[in-house]
Amino acid sequence: MTVPLEEVANGADAPADLYVVRAPGEWTIAPVPVADPVVVDVADVIGLVGTAARTGAVRSPRRVRAPTPVGPHDRVEPVWMYVLLVAEGGLVATGPGGEHVRLDADDVRLIDVLNEAVVVADLVVEGVDEGIEARCDRLGRLVAAGCVRVVERGEAPRPDPPAGGSVLRRLVNRRARPPR
């Protein structure tokens, strides 16, 4: 179920920071200070790209990492779960080494269709008109951002994440339980 973004943060009730959490097949908005995470659709996430967080602009970080080389015959798959900060000029991912990478609307569209391992040349992203070189560059940035990984030759596919409702909500509920 998706909820209109206006119900997540509006006017004076807006959170100090707004985060987007991606798990395969699911986008979630998670306001901070803590509020219940809300599952939204990709259009809501794309709507956040290019805007500032609603209670003040968060400057996009300047530290970046060079893209990871990705070729058209490489297999790529989504990272199981990661968090993006809503910042001025886009969404910001923090890569494995602490580097910050700003994501644009086309990055979000690509991430949205990447739900399992696929050969780069076979990846089709509706609404993104770019050649294979540009797609490889984009995927290289997403690997550096910690959103996508290259599957090594001969490596078995990773198992699917747990099923049964919102991944983020299950994690939050698990942490919120009182100790026994």
pLDDT at 111: 93
CA distance linking residue 72 with residue 151, whole number of Å: 13
Tell me, what's the pLDDT at 37? Answer: 85
Strands 75-78 and 118-119: antiparallel
Whole-angstrom CA distances from 59 to 38, 88, 170 are: 24, 6, 31
pTM: 0.73
Q: Per the structure block, which two tokens stand in for 91? A: 């969404």
* Token duo for residue 164: 């049964």
Q: Which residues make beta-bridge pairs with 57?
A: none
pLDDT score, position 16: 61
Q: In which residue ranges of the chain is pLDDT below 70?
A: 1-16, 50-67, 157-180
Q: Which two tokens stand for residue 121?
A: 């040349």
Q: What confidence score (pLDDT) does residue 30 get?
A: 87
DSSP-assigned letter for residue 133: H
pLDDT of 159 reads 64
Strand order in the sheet with 17-23: 38-40, 26-32, 17-23, 82-87, 90-94, 100-103
Identify the pLDDT of residue 165: 54
